[in-house]
Structure 1
Amino acid sequence: MKYIVIGLSITSSWGNDHATTFRALLKELTALGNEVLFLEKDVPWYAGHRDMPNPDFCRLRLYETNEELKTRYANEVAKADAVIVGSFVPQGVEIGNWVIETARGVTAFYDLDTPVTLEKLRNENYEYINEELIKKYQLYLSFSGGRVLDYLEEHYDSPNAKALYCSVDTNLYFPEDHEKKWQMGYLGTYSDDRQASVEELLNETAKQKKDMKFIVAGPQYPEDIQWAENVERIDHLPPSEHRRFYNSQRYTLNITQQDMIRAGYSPTARLFEAAACGVPIISDFWNGIDSIFEINKEILIAGSSSDAIECFDSIDEEERKLIGQRARQKVLKYHTSRARAQQLESYVEEVMEKS
C-alpha cells in the first residue's frame, strides 16, 4: 500500500521525539513492502539541526507553505491508500481539513502527544487539531492507551481510536559492552514540568552520592540550573550516539511529563530504547506502567532520591543485569518497530474493510 505521512519532522531529532518515532515506524513499514512518502515543513530551527537529511527508507519532500503542499501533492494524497497527519504539524487544522477533503483512502491522525493534545482541547487551543477534525478522521492513532481511547470516542466522537505506542528499532538499540562511566543518566529535552523530577531523582541523588558520576543529556536547559559537581551535561546527543550513551550507564532514568502521568498508559520512546539496550530503568510511576514492564522485575520505580539510592544500595550486580535483560526480552516481544508497523497495517486494513 502507499502511505503518506505529514509529520512534524523526520529529518531532525533536535528538541523533539517525533523524528525517532517516525524513523523507526516508517523504516519497518517500508520493509513490510509498503511505499511511504513523508512530507515535512521546512523550518529554520530544524534546518540547522538535521541528523537525517536523506532517509533511505522513504521518499522525503520538504514544503515551505501550505499552498505549496496542496498544489504539489494533491494528486498523490488523492491516490494514497492511507494519509496520516501527525500532531504538532504547523497549521495542522488547515492541513487536516485539506487531507480529509482530498484523500480517497483512509485518513488518520497520529497523535504523538495525546495527553498534551487533550489539555489543549480542554483549553480551546486548536493549534493542530480541533473537535470537528477528530470526528472526521477515520482513525485516531494515540500515543496513550487505556481509558484515553474510550474518552476520545465517547467525548470527542472519534469513529475509531486505537493505541499506537512509540517503539524501538532493535537494529539500532541493543546491548554493548562499554565501560560504565555513569551510575545513572537521563536523556531528554528540558521541560518545566519534568525538571522538578530531574532535580529530585538525579541531581539530588548525585549530591548524596558524591562518589558516583551522573549525566544529563538534552537541549534547552537554562544556564542557571545548579547541577551537582558530579553531574555531566551534554547539550544535544544525536540518535546515532544513544546506544553507546545507554550502554555506558549502570542505570538510566525515565521521567514522564505531568500530562502523560495524568493520562496514564503513555510509554515514551526513551523507555523502549533503554530497555532494548538491556539497561535497568529507574522510572517515576504512572497508571499502566505495569502493563508495559513488571515492576521490580523488569523496571524499578522511584519517587524520591532516597528511592533511587535504595535501588543502588539494595540490588546486587547479578540482579541489576537481570532486570535489564528481562526488560529487553519484553521489548523484543511486544514493542519493536516491526510489531508497531504491523499494528498500523492492521488498523488501516480494518478501516478499509468497513468502508
Structure 2
Amino acid sequence: MKFAFFGSSLVSAYWNGAATYYRGIIRAMNERGHTITFYEPDAYDRQKNRDMADPEWARIVVYHPSEADVFRVLHDAMDADVIIKTSGVGVFDELLETEVAKLKDAGKFVIFWDVDAPATLDRVHTNDGDYFKELIPKYDLVLTYGGGDPVINAYTDLGAKKCYPIYNALDPSTHHPVEKDSRFDVDLVFLGNRLPDREKRVEDFFLKVAADMPDQKFILGGNGWHDKPMTENINYIGHVFTKDHNALNCSPKAVLNISRDSMAKYGFSPATRVFEAAGAGACIITDYWEGIEFFFEPGREILVARSGEEVKALLSALDPEKALHIGQAALEKVLEKHTYTHRAAELDIILQSELVDNRAVL
C-alpha cells in the first residue's frame, strides 16, 4: 500500500524526539512492502540540523511552512491509499488535522497517529473548545505510541472509532552495542530536551542526585539546559546527534530515563530512548511508571526508582559487572519482543482488519 505521513521530521532529530520512532516504524513498514512518503515542514532549523540523508526506504517531501504549500502537499498526498496526520508537526497542525480528516470523504483511509497522546488528551480535556475534539470521530483510526488502556479508553470516550497503541521499539540496524567512548565514560547519563512537564523530575532524579554524589561523574545531554544551575560533576553537552547515541548509551555505567509527568500519569508509555539504550546494552535506571513490567523485568532487565533517593541508592550499589548483566538482559528482551519489525507486523494486522471492515481493497 501507499502511505502518506504528515509529521514533524524524519531526517532530523533536532528538537524532535519522535524522529527515532518515525524512522523505525517507517523503515520496517517499507521492508514489509509498503511505499511511504513523509511530508515535513522546513521549520525549527531542523533541515539545517539533519542527521541523516533522504533514506532509500521513504520519499521525503520538505515543504515551506505556509498555507499555500500545505495545500500543495495535501494534493500531492492524494495518490496514497492511507493518509496519516501525526501529532506535533509544529506548524499548521490544526489545518492539517482538519484537511486530512476531510480526505475520508474522498475515499481515503485516514489515521491520526498521536506520538504524544497524554499531552493531546490533557489539552482536549481541559479545553472544551479545543478544535481537535470534534475531529476525533472523523478519523478512521487513532494510533498512539503509548498509553495502554487509559489512553485507549480516553480516546474511545472522545468518539474515536478505534484506538490502538503502536509502542516505541528498537531498530537494531541503527541502535546497537559499540565500543565504549572515553567522552562518555561517566557514572550516569541523562539525555532529554528541557520540557516544562519533565523539568521538576529532572531536578529530583538527576540534578539533585549529582549534587549529593560529588565523587561520581554525570553527563546531561539535550537542548535547553544551558542556563540551568548544575554542579561541577555534571558535564552538559547539549544536543547529541543520533550518530553518537550508541556510544553515549554504551559508555557510562548507567543511563537514566526520566518520564514526562503526562507520560507517567497515563503509564504504558516507554520513551524511545529506553529502547535505544536497551538496544545498545545499557544498564537503564528509570523512574517508575505503570506498565514497566509489560516491557522489561524490573531488577533483572531494568532498574526502577521512585525518587531521587532511590536513584542514589541504585547507583551507589551498582558495580560494572552487575550493570553489564542488566544491560545484556535488556538487549536480549528488546531483540526478542520489541523491535520495529514486531511493531510493523502488529500494524499490518490492525490495518488489514480495519480496511476490511471499511470494505477497502488492499
Show structure 2 runs of 5+ residues with no match. none
Structure 2 residue 24 is the aligned partner of structure 1 residue 20:
no
Cα deviations by residue, 1:27-78 (Å, 9 ceiling, x for unpaired): 111122111100112225323322235233210111223333323542x533
Q: 1:190 aligns with which of 188, 194, 197?
A: 194
Matches within 5 A, 1:66-145: 66-74=67-75, 76-89=76-89, 90-102=91-103, 103-124=106-127, 130-143=132-145, 144-145=147-148
Specify the code of the residue in structure 1 equivalent to 2:49.
H
Match of 2:208 in 1: 204
Q: 1:191 to 1:73 in 2, by over 3 A?
A: closer
Asked if 1:226 corresponds to 2:229, the answer is: yes
Q: State the distance in 2 between where 1:228 and 1:44 align.
A: 30
**Residues 339, 210 of structure 1: alpha-carbon distance in 2 compared, 3 angstrom cutoff:** same
Partner residue, 1:171: 173
CA offsets, 1:250-285, max 9 Å, x none? 100000000111111111101111111111111111
1:345 aligns with 2:355: no
Which amino acid in 2 is paired with 1:104? G
CA contact (8 A) 1:116 1:259 kept: yes
1:282-331 CA distance string (max 9 Å, x none): 11111111211111111111233331222133344333222111111221
Contact in 1 for aligned 2:39/2:62 (Cα 8 Å): yes
Aligned to 1:270, the other structure's residue is in SS state helix
Report the AA paired with residue 86 of structure 1.
Answer: T
Task: Please identify runs of 4+ aligned residues in structure 1 that moved more than 4 A.
Answer: none
2:38 match: secondary structure: strand
Aligned partners of 1:79 and 1:104 also within 8 Å: no
Q: Which digits, 9 at most, give the CA deviation of each residue in 1:217-268, with x for residues without a partner?
A: 0111241x22111110111101111001111111000000001111111111
Shift of 1:125: 8.0
Distance 1:69 1:53 in 2: 23
Tell me the TM-score normalized by structure 2.
0.91
Q: Are 1:93 and 1:133, in contact at CA under 8 Å, matched by a contact in 2?
A: no
Distance (Å, rounded) in 2 between the aligned partners of 1:195 and 1:95 = 30
Paired amino acid for 1:131: K
- The structure 2 residue matched to 1:254, chosen from 245, 252, 257, is 257
| Residue aligned with 1:301, SS | strand
1:354 CA displacement: 0.2
Closer/same/farther in 2, CA of residues 51 and 317 from structure 1, 3 Å limit: closer
CA contact (8 A) 1:293 1:327 kept: yes
Specify which of 259, 276, 279 is matched with residue 276 of structure 1: 279
Q: In angstroms, what is the RMSD of aligned CA positions?
A: 1.9
Percent identity (aligned): 29
Given that 2:288 and 2:306 are in contact with CA atoms closer than 8 Å, whether structure 1 keeps it comes out as yes
Q: Which stretch shows the higher mean deviation, 251-260 or 17-26?
A: 17-26
Structure 1 unaligned blocks of 5 or more: none
Deviations along 1:4-39, one digit per CA (max 9) or x if unpaired, are 101111122111212221111111111221111001
CA distance in structure 2 between the partners assigned to 1:87 and 1:111 by the alignment = 5
Instruction: Give the TM-score normalised by structure 1.
Output: 0.93
Correspondence for 2:55: 55
Contact 1:120/1:126 (<8 A) preserved: no
Residues 176 and 53 from structure 1, CA distance in 2 versus in 1: closer, same or farther, beyond 3 angstroms?
closer
Letter in 1 for 2:94: V
Q: Confirm or deny: 8 A CA contact 1:83 1:107 kept in the other structure.
A: yes
Alpha-carbon distance, 1:344 to partner = 1.9
CA displacement 1:165-223 (0-9 Å, x = unmatched): 12221111112231561101001001223222222222222223222211000111241
Does the residue aligned with 2:60 lie in a helix, a strand or coil? strand
Partners of 2:53 and 2:205 in 1: CA distance: 35
Name the SS of the counterpart of 2:3 in structure 1.
Answer: strand
SS of 1:37's partner is strand
2:295 counterpart (292, 296, 312): 292
Aligned length: 351
- CA–CA separation in structure 1 for the residues paired with 2:250 and 2:71: 44
